Structure formats: C-alpha cells, structure tokens
Chain A
Amino acid sequence: SQTIHQWPATLVQPVGSPLSLECTVEGTSNPNLYWYRQAAGRGLQLLFYSVGIGQISSEVPQNLSASRPQDRQFILSSKKLLLSDSGFYLCAAGLAITDTQYFGPGTRLTVL
C-alpha cells in the first residue's frame, strides 16, 4: 500500500513571502499526483495534477506553481503569498488504472 508524506504539517507565513510545500510517495511507482486546497468548511479544490515527471497541469490560475522533479516527489510553490492562499493543502496519489486517490496528512497554511 502507498504512503504519502507531507511537510511541514503547519506553516505561518507573512504576506509576500515565498512558499514551498513538499510531498513524497512511498509504495508505488509512476503515480498520478495531485495538489488540492481545502478552505474551512468547504470541499476540496484541485490545484494541480501530474501524470509524470515534469508534466504539470494547472486547474486554477493563481500565484501558485507546482513541480515534479522525481517520480514520487511533488512540490507546491509560490514566489509571493497572498492572504487568500491560507488553507489546508493536501497532496494525493492515484493509480492510473483506477480512479481512487490516497491523501497525505496535509499542511495547514496561515498567511498573515
């Protein structure tokens, strides 16, 4: 079974500062990888997905970006954070042959 690691678990950043969130996956090869954001009391919003190394698709135009430097590593970045970037960020991994996705523990980001 696959395990998804995310760090940091919590982060408090000032407006205008950079951001780097990391996700790594164990137990599977060539997974589809996803970044979601969950606002308080709301559903999950898909931000980025990747079907392979260097292949990133953006779902929502914004000041965030994603990269996949290795098969099982997915990074979410920003050059300058906005207040509206606050939220719970979740990394997920899915198998190409099914549509199930497995989630990491999440990173809670507060932008002040």
Chain B
Amino acid sequence: QKEVEQDPGPLSVPEGAIVSLNCTYSNSAFQYFMWYRQYSRKGPELLMYTYSSGNKEDGRFTAQVDKSSKYISLFIRDSQPSDSATYLCAMSENTGRRALTFGSGTRLQVQP
C-alpha cells in the first residue's frame, strides 16, 4: 500500500464547475499538507499549505484536512480552462528531514 493515494483521473469538468480533488494517506505522523499544481512539462507550483486539521481558503481554492480520517481535499470554485493541469497532494512529518511524500497526481481538464 502506498503512503499517499490519489486518483490519477483524468477528471473532466465544464467551465464554472466546482472541482473536488482528494488524497488519502496511511501515516498518522503527517502534520503538514500541501497541494501543488503542475502544468505539462513544468515544475510543480505550490497552491495551498495547511498545518494539521482544518480548512484554508485562498481565492477560488479551499483546502481541507481531516486527520481523523486521514483524508485531504482541494476544492476549486468557478473552474477555468487555465486550471487544467495535474494536481499533486504532498505531506510531511514534523522532522528535520522535511521531505515531502507526494501522491501520484490527478489530471484535471476544464472544458470551455
């Protein structure tokens, strides 16, 4: 079993839809949770960063963490064609190593 599971998609939605992206994990020591967006042939770009459980909102993006269920989500409101990309979840323990464990990514396509 992988430490972090993420549905690879592709997920295709019409423009303006609400998108829900999810990851589950098995390591209860994870405390930091991130979402990255990666366009084709580019490096990942940090979208959201959350410590422990709770919600965080930034513009059209909302990140949710439920540590009791070991489940994290990213919601995108009013999705745009420019949101078409691969979304990677990442998480880490509170150690000096500070290395991230990534999901394999979900490919999102927003149709105009």
Contacts and interface: CB of A to CB of B under 8 A. Distances in A.
Interface of A: 4, 6, 32, 34, 41-44, 46, 49, 51, 57, 59, 88, 90, 94, 96, 98-106, 108
B32 A99 contact: yes
Given A43-B103, A43-B105, A99-B92, A94 B98 contact: yes
Contacts of B102: 43-44
Interface in B68-112: 88, 90, 92, 94, 96-100, 102-105
A90 B36 CA distance: 14
Given A32-B98, A99-B92, A43 B43 contact: no
Contacts of B42: 105-106
Interface in B26-66: 32, 34, 36, 41-46, 49
Interface residues of B, number: 26
Given A42-B104, A98-B49, A90 B44 contact: yes
B16 interface: no
B7 to A, nearest CB: 13
Given A43-B104, A59-B99, A99-B100, A104 B43 contact: yes
Interface of B: 4, 6, 8, 32, 34, 36, 41-46, 49, 88, 90, 92, 94, 96-100, 102-105
Nearest to B105: A43
A101 B8 contact: no
Nearest 9 interchain pairs by C-beta: A99-B32, A103-B43, A43-B104, A43-B102, A99-B92, A44-B102, A106-B43, A103-B44, A105-B43
